[in-house]
A = this chain, B = another copy of it.
Amino acid sequence: MSDSVKYLLPEDRIPRAWYNIAADLPQPLPPPLHPGTGKPIGPDDLSPLFPMALIAQEVSTEREVEIPGPVRDVYKLWRPAPLYRARRLEQALDTPARIFYKYEGVSPPGSHKPNTAVAQAFYNREAGVRKLSTETGAGQWGSSLAFAGAFFGIEVKVYMVRVSYQQKPYRRVLMETYGATCIPSPSNETDAGRAILAQDPDSPGSLGIAISEAVEVAAKNADTNYSLGSVLSHVLLHQTVIGIEALEQMEMAGHWPDVVIGCAGGGSNFSGLAFPFIGKKLREKKDVRVIAAEPAACPSLTRGRYAYDFGDTGHLTPLVKMHTLGSTFIPPAFHAGGLRYHGMAPMVSHLKELGLIEACAVKQNPCFEAGVAFARAEGIVPAPESTHAVRVAIDEALAAKEEGKARNILFNLSGHGHFDMQAYADYFSGKLEDRDYDEAALQAALGALPKVAA
């Protein structure tokens, strides 16, 4: 049996600039709007929450954005991340396809999230900010910002969705180990939290509620900024180190990918791998299919409406144009907590509208089945979120087998599952349900979308 192959870049090949896909778009991204005026927002509207450097990145159309030296220095702890050819998985599937994966679980917190957490902590520190507030679902983002905060001397306060806070205590302990404070949301610390608790003292919380709390704290406290782990364009920008490295590693491997796949909740790991490949397609007419793999229980790209909507439940954020299930939509519980968000990144949504990416929705039992097959062949246990990408990659490899044709498949293994073994235990014991979203609730949430002249 021929073994799997690792393609590793030397440290000096850590990218020196992030790739900004806005430079190559055939049509510009629709701007965020002020919910009161319905007019495009300006930098001043965002300055209570973000440092100017990040606001500038949010609207930049420069193709390359230099990565500051101190950010690259921290990246060096785990980057360049390896890219593997999964030969053993290919053999297990008996497919003529070549399967490659980029592995982002090598970061100390175990996922791709530190790529932007470190950058955001750096720019805030440069701007003199010493406190950041944020939200987290399953805890990958919160633990990554806690990690970055420790490196740049920033106090991090994380509002963690209450049900995750109670059911998944280990990523909370990880945040505390890095020195951050973690608070179950909804909390009594904010107006947004108190409003929810007044209606439902036992509210399990949601990502949308936790965002409202974190934004409120930053808006009301001059010494505190807000930090978001996905969705916004500057976050996706920081993640492009993944794809820039992967481009070079695929060249080492001597193959161009016919298909590029990432799981998509808010869209950051998907964008990080895919954007540099889409850029090649836009600039050099390279042919590549790009697939966003989303959960069937929270299918914003495949079932949502492309419309202006709020990013949070409390309606404190600007309106952004995105594929959305509605900010009042509460997805059913499932284990890939990092994918339980009502909207999709505006840039990813825009690319979908432009026909530059595809999307598909997958159920959780087939995802865990794929995750187990991957672990037994390649040795790495994927995070529940990442199993969505594994599932679609395996389906592409099986389709290639069916057709009797080779194809090159590249997917992003965005994190390891070491903190998510309860999900695997539930899968093995047959306890996992393939719950669909509630169609009536979706229609109600879509009916409640804000009215904006599009």
Copies of this protein, total:
2
Question: Contacts A3-B73, A74-B3 given: A380-B108 contact, CB under 8 Å?
Answer: yes
A179→B418 contact, CB < 8 A = no
* 9-residue interface stretch from A15-23, A422-430, A434-442: A422-430
A170→B381 contact, CB < 8 A = no
Q: How big is the A interface, by class?
A: 35 or more
Q: Is A123 in the interface zone, CB < 8 Å from B?
A: no
B6→A147 contact, CB < 8 A = no
B381→A428 contact, CB < 8 A = no
Q: Is A49 in the interface zone, CB < 8 Å from B?
A: no
- Judged by DSSP, the binding face of A is helix
Q: Which of A4, A76, A177, A419 gathers the greatest number of chain B CB atoms within 10 Å?
A: A177
B379→A421 contact, CB < 8 A = no
Q: Is A332 in the interface zone, CB < 8 Å from B?
A: no
Q: Which chain B residues border A422 with CB–CB below 8 Å?
A: 169-170, 173
- Whole-angstrom CA separation of A180 from B311 in the bound complex: 44
- Whole-angstrom CA separation of A424 from B177 in the bound complex: 7
- Whole-angstrom CA separation of A174 from B174 in the bound complex: 19
Nearest B residue to A380, CB-CB: B108
Partner among B77, B147, B425 whose Cβ is within 8 Å of the Cβ of A4 = B77
Partner among B70, B179, B381 whose Cβ is within 8 Å of the Cβ of A108 = B381
Please list the residues of chain A having a beta carbon within 8 angstroms of any beta carbon in chain B.
3-6, 8, 10-11, 70, 73-74, 76-77, 84, 88, 106, 108, 110, 147, 150-151, 169-171, 173-174, 176-179, 372, 375-381, 416, 418-419, 421-422, 424-425, 428
